[in-house]
A and B are shown apart, each in its own frame.
Chain A
Amino acid sequence: MKRLARIGFVLLAALTLTAWASAQNLVIAQGTDAVTLDAHDVTDSPTASIVSHMYETLFELMPDGSIEPHLAESYEVSDDSTVWTINLREGVTFHDGTPMTAEVVKGSMDRFLDPDNAFTFRFLLDRIDEVVVTGPLQIELRLATPFAPLLAHLTHNTTAIVLPSAVEEYGEAFGENPVGTGPFQLENWDRGSRIDMVTYENYWGDVPAIDGVSFLAVPENTTRMALVESGEAHVAVRVPPQDIARLNAAPDITVENVSSLRTIYMYFNHTLEPFDDVRVRQAFNYAVDKQEIAEFVLGGAVRPSDAAIAPGIFGYTDVGEYEYDPERARELLAEAGFEDGLSTTLYSPSGRYLQDIQITEAIQSQLAEVGIDATIETLEWSAYLDKTREPAGENDVPVALLGWGTVTGDADYGLYALFHTSQHVPDGSNRAFYSNPVVDDLLDEARVTPDPSVRESLYADALQIVRDDAPWLFLHSETQLVAVNDAVEGLVIHPTERVLAWNVTVSE
């Protein structure tokens, strides 16, 4: 009997071992756990990475910036640009087997657009007046006025198609019971720790070669890197710049460096002296050596900005960096009446963006060289957001560091909310209180112009004016540093700061 038990045990152990060896599960370590698995309610990029494996959007923003139909098969725009007819792909099913139809897509979009649901990214599609079903697999999006960025906005992960009947069934718990059309479906969510997904065998496209993908939530950088080093994870995001060399030295790990659509800048509050003077703002731009910060504070892992948005975004044009020129900075300050220098406060978050407080400290010391005496004020993130979005008159933050990810890949989202006069905080996100009627006109026109090449030139003009007005101290666009085990092929590190395992293979 004892012997039998022993044999049984050995067999069992052998079975589990083979099962373990043949199951190809990709393990990705991120900094945080998913907040929710309701695609419409996602607001942060680690959650977006996870959710993008379970849900899909009508259109897809490719890593090269082009837009491809995805759950949509084709589309047409009416001559007056107010009716978008979208033909949906045939044969798409949700994880519970329900086929995707025009009714389902309408239901999903109506839910996203319902003001009562208060989804943060609702504004992406709020130009749509009505979604109309015009065939079993055809819908029409009706707009009151033309809105050129619509296609780009339909690639955003929050606009993904969810199954309305599942939303109804699960109610408030839909965020834990996701039902989408994506290549993976939820298997297990150990909250605060890990999410396991298995491959959806009836996926309409190419069924993934791996059996599943797991996301671990590992907030501590060293632990996250240790997971890849020990082989327990295949991928770890947000590699600290100081660890790049060590990880690359490991025989089976490569640190990938992929540009992101996020721009880091310091804005000047135009309602406060002396930042109402363009010469002072330009002086700051000349006084800071962006190359040096990129190299020494960020380990070369960023790209100094030559425009207010990053390359890879539709509408980006190189309008020229402010070269490091302390002499010119001193001249401009003297012209503006500050030959004896000036003092100000730099607000900075700490730990929100890559090396944020270290960047601010470097800027502080470079400003000191041209006679600008800056003190640094850091606030915890929530308080920081609050303080920087107070209305004009009450807002006493003179200069502050922030980042902006143009996650739709279209310049409208990157420029309108930040530079249009109608978007001054607290109504929008123009924290600088920047206002230039010419820029306003250009941005307004680019919104309603259907022709992409015309839009591109409108944005080029706007970017040039913004550059010369210097409402920001232009810094850099971030790059994503991701440690990847060499056994992994086909991993997509998307410019929208998502890591996608759709087409991954793992070699033995």
Chain B
Amino acid sequence: MFQYTLRRILIALPAIFGVIVVVFAMVRLAPGDPAVMLAGEFADQATIERIRERFGLDRSMPEQFLTFVSNLAQGDLGRSTRTNRLVTEDLAQFFPNTLELALGAILVALAIGIPAGMLSAIKRNTWVDAAVTFVALLGVSMPVFWFGLLAILFFSVELGWFPVAGRGSFAHLVLPAITLGVSSTAIIARMTRSSMLEVLDQDYVRTARAKGVQARSLIAKHALRNALVPVVTIGGLEFGRLLAGAVLTETVFTWPGVGRLLVDSILARDYPVVQGAVLVIAISFILVNLLVDLVYGVIDPRIRYD
């Protein structure tokens, strides 16, 4: 298992390097110039030149790349051209916030999605199943932006139950986590349902049922565990997506996460921050996937790593 983990991490390194190269090139090929952005409508050429020089943007692209990679090897991601802050400091501040939000959202999704999917599978083709399917469809198709704003207007402005925006207490997390988790909840519920149905049709389940195992224990002990493998896969992928794709929720709820940092930096052509944020997101995505693969073995002992 240790060897497997190590091998997976080694395999991930070229992927991460690829991400670095692509992002480095992409931000620079996009039209727009960080120096012009900084100087704004008020810019004169001399000021722009000075700003370029200040951030080393007057040097050639290969030269900039070499500097970037050699600094990266020392754990230095450079300074933001917009705020002059160390990129590593920015990420250390923003990434945990995103992690907190994504964890909240995936917990919401698992806590609601799995029971709902099971219920739907057990009560197959009844009104319960139809209702769960309908709500799930609604959840997937609802724009995050719209759902979040409605939640604010109803639960915060009308009822005053939760704060409108910002981060801090547990109450601050509730609405953003639900908003971000809605579509994942729906996907996990659908996945659980179909996976559960498949398992319930298996021979061993039929055998168990024939020898008189109680329905409750049958579902919990025999069916669920096997049905969960694909759910874990989807859950992991969803979690990775939530880490990278929380920008809309972060914007609606003023959540200071890495998604908003990334979008703001792209708009300002803040190259060092864009590079750093994408790097962190890519690494966390790879780690989550690795974790999912390791969890398989825990759920299903037949899966071996060698």
Contacts and interface: CB of A to CB of B under 8 A. Distances in A.
Do these two chains interact?
A: yes
Interface of A: 32, 35-36, 38, 41, 43-44, 115-118, 120-123, 172, 175-176, 190-194, 216-220, 222-223, 226-227, 229-230, 232, 379-383, 385-387, 389, 402-404, 417, 423, 426-429
Contacts of A219: 251, 254, 260
B165 A227 contact: yes
A380 B149 contact: no
Contacts of B37: 381-382, 385
B246 to A, nearest CB: 13
Given A175-B83, A194-B166, A385-B37, A121 B268 contact: no
Given A175-B85, A216-B166, A220-B254, A230 B42 contact: no
Contact of A190 (B31, B83, B252, B256): B256
A402 B41 CA distance: 9
Contacts, number: 142
Nearest to A34: B83
B6 to A, nearest CB: 36
Given A35-B83, A380-B267, A389 B43 contact: yes
B164 A386 contact: no
B53 A118 contact: yes
26 contacts: A118-B47, A118-B50, A118-B53, A118-B54, A172-B79, A190-B256, A191-B256, A192-B94, A193-B255, A194-B166, A216-B166, A220-B149, A220-B251, A220-B252, A223-B149, A223-B252, A226-B156, A227-B165, A230-B156, A232-B164, A380-B267, A386-B31, A386-B33, A417-B44, A426-B48, A429-B41
B32 A386 contact: yes
B117 to A, nearest CB: 32
Given A192-B261, A220-B254, A223-B254, A120 B165 contact: no
Given A191-B93, A383-B31, A426 B45 contact: yes
Contacts of B217: none
> Which of B53, B83, B167 is the most central at the interface, judged by chain A CB atoms within 10 Å of its CB?
B83
B279 to A, nearest CB: 19
A299 B120 CA distance: 51
Nearest to B167: A193
Given A43-B42, A223-B152, A386-B36, 8 more contacts: A120-B51, A175-B84, A192-B257, A227-B164, A387-B31, A404-B41, A429-B43, A429-B44
A330 B255 CA distance: 53
Given A223-B253, A383-B31, A115 B50 contact: yes
Interface in B12-39: 30-33, 36-39
Contacts of B166: 193-194, 216
A383 B164 contact: no
Contact of A123 (B47, B82, B267): B47
A120 B268 contact: no
B149 A428 contact: no
A218 B254 contact: yes
B43 A226 contact: no
B1 to A, nearest CB: 39
Nearest to A47: B83
B268 A382 contact: yes
A417 B42 contact: yes
Nearest to B82: A35
A386 B43 CA distance: 11
Interface string B155-166: 011001001111
A382 B153 CA distance: 33
B284 to A, nearest CB: 18
Nearest to A218: B254
A93 B51 CA distance: 32
Nearest to A427: B45
B202 to A, nearest CB: 48
A423 B252 CA distance: 41
A408 B156 CA distance: 41
Nearest to B50: A118
Contacts of A190: 167, 256
A86 B218 CA distance: 88
Given A120-B51, A226-B152, A381-B267, A403 B41 contact: yes
A322 B45 CA distance: 33
Contacts of A116: 54
A292 B156 CA distance: 37
B32 A380 contact: yes
A175 B83 CA distance: 8
Nearest to B79: A172
A138 to B, nearest CB: 31
B40 interface: yes
A382 B64 CA distance: 21
Nearest to B163: A232
B33 A123 contact: no
B190 interface: no
Contacts of A387: 31
B32 A385 contact: yes
